[in-house]
Structure 1
């Protein structure tokens, strides 16, 4: 903030042409200075203050009866500041108090593996978080853009429509812009990409990571459309799907569609309180498709995985080891 910009702002305040936000910030700044004792009035300033008050009183007398003019102390202070110069307006308290936007207070929530959490935000938008997920969101939306961050895991967003305040979800280098809709975001750390699936409405998805030095491009998604964006290269793949297959986890219905066993294991760890390991690294790349219900027994699920891929498993408490079945 330059001295000229500050001077122009004071002029607008004095003439009554500044915006309500600028007016509020100037008055808040003035109150802060007054309370802290930073304003030291010189005899000359006191005389000028007296003159300002007299001018205001004269103006009030000349007004028609019934019309009352109120003079705020901050307006007088602004006049004096403008008259004597604004050198000290460039101090730290000016920059931090007047021109620094009000910051949202953020809250971070972590969902333990095997559990779910439903959050209702201050705008009535709803986030359903799966096990092993972590989200950061403001306690109250005070900015023109509503913004949250999915730091880890999977979440279903049902966003309250507000045409004047877009909603943005940031997830692992991906930005999802929406006015009002419902969609699922899968952004587990062990996955190589971020997956966005729309069940209702429309969203715009943009990768913030692109090592090819190409401008980031937006991808628009409609219901039953999905996009996956590479976390490293920003590569984008869009396809038509059945959205309920990817948001079914909310009702405890899980579906794997040609997923690697490594990814399946990672998601199972979030759905259940278990740890899955592999006897050899090559087993992680095996592709697997299946669907199951959260009410299914873990033993039945592990048996199905092993039976379909010629594997066997051993379990010790919550630790599970998958190995290639030895042929006799």
Structure 2
């Protein structure tokens, strides 16, 4: 945070116009510094200290405007306030959280993104997804956060600075290169799929039944973390098909219909619902090309999987075929 912003924040605190979060930050800092202050002041000559401050004020403070009188005590108060403000600003600069160094990017529906991180890691962020990452990697590790959606990463190798991606209560440690993470906030499960190399998947303490367990995922494997039932399963998949969306294709091999529906929502900017909630777990195998229209996709899905769909007020609803 720039120093002038810190100064404004302190001025807001004095004026009583801080937000609760800003006020809490300053007060926590003040309490922390007060607790750590164990300086012995018994040998300090405060008369001499005041004289020294007064001498510095005379050297640095401009003469008052003509006709304006200012007492020595008033100047000392101004000087002390300024020194306190400057000292607090310096300390706040040191203890302020590093959140300002993080950037957030959102891929709009229908518009997946591709870009590169500072370390050379290539990122494909699927439509409708949200990612946080630092502008500059610092410290012993590199970490990014998938807030919601789907991401494919080709991680730049750097053994001395391991790469982590946080998604909800699941952390994935990269031990290889190309892999995919699906962590849609609308779904009660998360999937990590490896195309090349390997990763280690581990849950935090918010999922107590899974905390501490580490699952190694190898090429062609997909691990699914069920966040509600707190169960982990691993299967063999076509990782290239899972990552097909990075080239505009959607390739589904025994994929759940709720996952497919989310990807269609984000690709075509529509809303999809289910007449029967049980349809969400329906397994689908299908291939969608980049040039296919929404109508083509819905028709093909329904014909091949004994489903119907209806459209009303821009909302698509899947239902079972009635024989």
TM-score of Structure 1 vs Structure 2, range by shorter chain: 0.5 to 0.7
Alignment of 1:283 with 2:317, yes or no, is no
- Write the distance in 2 (CA, Å) between the matches of 1:164 and 1:111: 31
Please name the residue that 1:118 is paired with: 114
Alignment of 1:257 with 2:253, yes or no, is yes
Please name the residue that 2:304 is paired with: 308
Q: How many residues align?
A: 251
Secondary structure at the counterpart of residue 195 of structure 2: strand
Please name the residue that 2:241 is paired with: 245
Counterparts in 2 of 1:2 and 1:239: CA distance versus 1, 3 Å: same
Counterparts in 2 of 1:322 and 1:232: CA distance versus 1, 3 Å: closer
- Write the distance in 2 (CA, Å) between the matches of 1:214 and 1:260: 23
Q: Is the 8 A contact 2:207 2:227 kept in 1?
A: no
Counterparts in 2 of 1:213 and 1:94: CA distance versus 1, 3 Å: farther
Alignment of 1:293 with 2:298, yes or no, is no
Which residue, out of 264, 267, 271, partners 1:271? Answer: 267
Following TM superposition, by how much is the alpha carbon of 1:143 offset from its aligned partner in structure 2, in angstroms?
2.7
Please name the residue that 1:160 is paired with: 156
Alignment of 1:109 with 2:109, yes or no, is no
Please name the residue that 2:146 is paired with: 150
- Write the distance in 1 (CA, Å) between the matches of 2:183 and 2:233: 15
Following TM superposition, by how much is the alpha carbon of 1:171 offset from its aligned partner in structure 2, in angstroms?
0.6
Q: Is the 8 A contact 2:203 2:210 kept in 1?
A: no
Please name the residue that 2:63 is paired with: none
Q: Is the 8 A contact 2:209 2:230 kept in 1?
A: no
| TM-score of the pair, normalised by structure 2 | 0.67
Please name the residue that 2:65 is paired with: none
Q: Deviations over 1:3-61 (max 9, x none)?
A: 9x999xxxxxxxxxxxxxxxxxxxxxxxxxxxxxxxx7976xx9xxxxxxxxxxxxxxx
Consecutive unaligned residues of structure 1, counting only runs of 5 or more, are: 8-39, 47-87
Please name the residue that 1:32 is paired with: none
Consecutive unaligned residues of structure 2, counting only runs of 5 or more, are: 1-31, 39-48, 56-83
Counterparts in 2 of 1:41 and 1:195: CA distance versus 1, 3 Å: farther
Counterparts in 2 of 1:161 and 1:275: CA distance versus 1, 3 Å: same
Q: Is the 8 A contact 1:160 1:180 kept in 2?
A: no
Following TM superposition, by how much is the alpha carbon of 1:321 offset from its aligned partner in structure 2, in angstroms?
2.5
Following TM superposition, by how much is the alpha carbon of 1:180 offset from its aligned partner in structure 2, in angstroms?
5.2
Q: What is the CA RMSD across the aligned residues, in angstroms? A: 3.2
- Write the distance in 2 (CA, Å) between the matches of 1:109 and 1:211: 27
Following TM superposition, by how much is the alpha carbon of 1:222 offset from its aligned partner in structure 2, in angstroms?
2.4
- Write the distance in 1 (CA, Å) between the matches of 2:306 and 2:98: 59
Secondary structure at the counterpart of residue 304 of structure 1: helix
Q: Deviations over 1:55-82 (max 9, x none)?
A: xxxxxxxxxxxxxxxxxxxxxxxxxxxx
Q: Is the 8 A contact 1:210 1:234 kept in 2?
A: no
Secondary structure at the counterpart of residue 111 of structure 2: coil
Please name the residue that 1:17 is paired with: none
| TM-score of the pair, normalised by structure 1 | 0.66
Moved more, 184-193 or 232-241: 232-241
Alignment of 1:227 with 2:210, yes or no, is no
- Write the distance in 2 (CA, Å) between the matches of 1:282 and 1:265: 14
- Write the distance in 2 (CA, Å) between the matches of 1:284 and 1:239: 19
